[in-house]
Amino acid sequence: MNIKLYVQTLLPALGWTALLTVTSLTVGVALGLVIGLARVGPVRSLRNAAAIYVELVRGIPLFVQILYIYYGIGYLIRNIYVPSPFVSATVAFGICYAAYIAEIFRAGFQSLDRGQAEAARALGMTRRQTTRLVLLPQAFRNILPALGNEGVALLKDTSLASVVTIGELTQAGRALSSLTLKSFEVWTVVALIYVALTLPLSWGVRKLEARLRVRGAAHPA
C-alpha cells in the first residue's frame, strides 16, 4: 500500500465530506425548524403546506433529489446562476433532511405540556416570545439525540454527492481505485474511514441521550 498516495488523495476528500455534512446539516436544521413550527402553528394553510412538503420530499429518493437539483433546476436557471456541485448537493441534502428534522421538531413541540404555553401567555408574552423563550429551548433539548442521529445518517449519505463529482470520500475512493487497481484495498480503507467518523458521533449521541434521560428523571415535569 502506498501510504503517501492514500493520504494525499483521501485527506482532502475527508475535509470535503466534513464540510458538506456541516453545511447541509445547518441548512436542514434551519429549514426543518421553520417547517416544524408551521406544522404545529395556528395557521391551517401553513400546516397543510408544511405537511405536503414533508410527504413530498420524503417520497423522493435523495439520490434523485441531488440529480434533480444539479441537472434539472441547474439547467432551468443556467442563464441566471450556475450552481456548483457543492452548492447543489448542500441544497439537496438540506431540503431532504429538513423534511425529517421538521417531524422531529414537531414531535418535540407536541411532547411539551400545553400548560406552559398558556402560562406564558397569561404572563403577557406574545406567541412569538412564548415559542422562542419557553417552548423552543425545551423542545430543542428533548430532540438533541434525534438530531444527532440525523447528523450521523447525513454523514454517511454524503457519499451520494459523488454523483455530481464532488471530491468527497467516495469520489476519492473511486479515483484511487482506478489509479491503483486495488479495489478491495481501497474500499476497505474508505469503509474504515467512515466507521472511524461515525462511531464517535454515534457514541456521543448515546451518551447525550443517556444524560438527558437521567436529567429528566431527576427533574420530572
| Tens digits of residue pLDDT in 103-119 | 999 988 887 777 777 77
Average pLDDT, the chain: 87
Percent of the chain with pLDDT over 90: 55
Torsion from C-alpha of 199, 201, 206, 210, nearest 10 degrees: 140
Q: Which residues contact 29 (CB under 8 A, 6 or more apart)?
A: 98, 101, 147
The percentage of residues in the chain with a pLDDT greater than 70, rounded to a whole number, is 95
Record the cell numbers describing residue 163, joined without a space.
454523483
User: Taking Cα atoms as reference points, which of 193, 200, 154, 166 lies closest to residue 10?
Assistant: 193
Distance in angstroms (rounded) separating the CA atoms of residues 35 and 201: 26
For residue 84, give the 3-state DSSP assignment. coil
Q: What is the mean pLDDT of residues 94-103?
A: 96
> Is a pLDDT exceeding 90 seen at residue 90?
yes
pLDDT at 28 over 90: yes
pTM: 0.86
171/161 Cα distance (integer angstroms): 8
Please, is 99 exposed, middle or buried when counting C-beta atoms within 10 Å of its C-beta (0-12, 13-18, 19+)? buried
Question: Which pLDDT value is given to residue 221?
Answer: 47
167 secondary structure, DSSP code: -
Indicate the range of 19-23, 56-60, 145-149 predicted with least confidence: 145-149
Give residues with Cβ within 8 angstroms of 120, minimum separation 6. 129, 130, 133, 134
Among 5-14, 99-108, 125-134, 184-193, the range scoring the smallest mean pLDDT is 125-134
Summarize the confidence of residues 171-183 as an average pLDDT: 90
CA-to-CA distance for 98 and 102, rounded, in angstroms?
Answer: 6
Residue 189 in this model has a pLDDT that exceeds 90 = yes
Q: Mind listing the pLDDT tens digit for each residue in 139-174?
A: 777 888 888 889 999 999 999 999 998 989 999 999
Q: Which CATH superfamily is domain 3-218 in?
A: MetI-like (1.10.3720.10)
Distances (CA, A) of 89 to 56, 70, 75, 116, 192: 18, 7, 15, 40, 24
The pLDDT confidence band at residue 61, using thresholds 50, 70 and 90, is very high
Q: Shortest CA distance to 17 belongs to which of 72, 86, 64, 80?
A: 86
Tell me, what's the pLDDT at 215? 59
Taking residues 30-47, report their average pLDDT: 92
Q: What is the rounded average pLDDT of the residues 14-25?
A: 95
User: Does residue 194 register a pLDDT over 80?
Assistant: yes
- Residue 220 has a pLDDT of 47
CA nearest to 125, candidates 115, 117, 113, 114? 117
